[in-house]
Structure 1
Amino acid sequence: MKRYEIGLFIGSLRRDSINRRLATALKRLAPPELGFTEIAIGDLPLYNQDHEIVGGLPAGVQRMKEALEPVQGVLFVTPEYNRSVPGVLKNALDWASRPKGANSVAGKAGAVCGAAPGAIGTAAGQQHLRTVLAALDVHTMGQPEFYLQFTPDLISMDGQVHNEGTQAFLRQFMQAYAGWVRRLCG
């Protein structure tokens, strides 16, 4: 069985983030052909093109871009802030796509998901993220869509899913994503 490495972006910096719990659960429920590398985004400076022109890429940006180079896919597990993409995630994508001609996410097999306490989950933020990913040439899986309303004991800190229906849905999502990666990456 061929193995594929997936760059995992978690759009929240909070240590106890519900989306970090979700990401842990997704890794646990993923088919064995998918391996995961978390792409750290918390130490990136705010995007400023002057870095490209004057002093080169900051160390954190270079580390992130190097981590992205060998992966075949990118999975975004993110909250929604004010009906949009968290600033830290957008900043990471701005850096990942630079400098011009060195887009570290272009052509990769992507998927977007997230959880929030509200009834529509992260639907609005995901739509904005999909628009950004399209501009960056990330081939984002369209179906199944994934909008999870998070309740306090749905997923434990170690990624255990306590609801059988939710567990089945998460497993199905990861199987669909594995199929998407296989289709795009051979």
Structure 2
Amino acid sequence: MSKVIGIIAGSLRKESFSKKIGRVVQGMAPEGFEFSIIPLDDLPIYNQDFDDHHEVPPSYVTFRETIRALDGVIFITPEYNRSVPGVLKNALDVASRPYGKSAWTGKPAAIFSNSPGNLSGFGANHHLRQSLVFLNMPAMAQPEVYMHSISKDFDEAGNMINEGTRDFLKKAVDAFITFYQKNA
């Protein structure tokens, strides 16, 4: 039976570089693994009243069940204002609740950050890492995956055209699989 690794892109934008990277990474799943893209588009902003008053939106229920069924997670995130995008933080919050029933607990994770600029999503990468510590998700430390000038790595049709970046991603995916096997 294949191990299922979720790919979560921290952006809602249709032409998001994080989503494009996610599709490239999805095709790199080794034998015995399935990489599944997990959308965030339908998650309302987390409000504890939903759980407290038993009015949980159906999208929360589905998302929590999806995360609970995963064996590990690769987060692919842009950087918004030196941190993670709100949609990604919201997804972390939704699946970590109700308190004491987090769907994230113990799932090995990797963080791949990206930016069209030169800072490569460094702030988002490290802020996300802080959240993963609290969520009890062992996060791959090496290689650190920061992708700068990512807009130059894709053609207009959304295909990755930079073989150097593709090779780097493949090495990062292979490292994550090794990390996963040691930490699952």
Give, in angstroms, the shift of residue 44 of structure 1: 1.1
Task: Judge conservation of contact 1:141–1:180 (CA < 8 Å) in 2.
Answer: yes
In structure 2, runs of 5+ residues without a counterpart are: none
Amino acid at match of 1:173: A
Distance 2:145 2:83 in 1: 16
Give, in angstroms, the shift of residue 157 of structure 1: 7.0
Task: Judge conservation of contact 2:22–2:37 (CA < 8 Å) in 1.
Answer: no
Distance 1:97 1:158, change over 3 A: farther
Distance 2:39 2:151 in 1: 25
Query: SS in structure 1 opposite 2:161?
Result: coil
Give, in angstroms, the shift of residue 153 of structure 1: 4.2
Task: Judge conservation of contact 1:44–1:92 (CA < 8 Å) in 2.
Answer: yes
Q: How many residues align?
A: 184
Task: Judge conservation of contact 1:141–1:177 (CA < 8 Å) in 2.
Answer: yes
Structure 1 residue 68 and structure 2 residue 98: aligned? no
Give, in angstroms, the shift of residue 151 of structure 1: 4.2
Residue of structure 2 in register with 1:29 after alignment: 28
Give, in angstroms, the shift of residue 7 of structure 1: 1.5
Amino acid at match of 1:44: L
In structure 1, runs of 5+ residues without a counterpart are: none
Residue of structure 2 in register with 1:170 after alignment: 169
Distance 1:115 1:88 in 2: 16
Residue of structure 2 in register with 1:101 after alignment: 100
Distance 1:123 1:57, change over 3 A: same
- Over the aligned positions, Cα root-mean-square deviation in angstroms equals 1.7
Structure 1 residue 91 and structure 2 residue 90: aligned? yes
Residue of structure 2 in register with 1:134 after alignment: 133
Amino acid at match of 1:87: G
Distance 1:173 1:159, change over 3 A: farther
Task: Judge conservation of contact 1:22–1:155 (CA < 8 Å) in 2.
Answer: no
Distance 1:157 1:68 in 2: 32
Q: Indicate the structure whose relative CO is greater, using CA pairs within 8 Å and at least 6 residues apart.
A: 1
Distance 2:28 2:35 in 1: 12
Deviates more, 1:26-35 or 1:69-78: 26-35
Identity among equivalent positions (%) equals 37
Give, in angstroms, the shift of residue 156 of structure 1: 4.4
Post-superposition Cα deviations, 1:66-112, rounded to whole Å, max 9, x if no partner, equal 11122110110111000001001101101110001210011001000
Give, in angstroms, the shift of residue 42 of structure 1: 1.6
Q: TM-score, normalised by structure 2?
A: 0.93
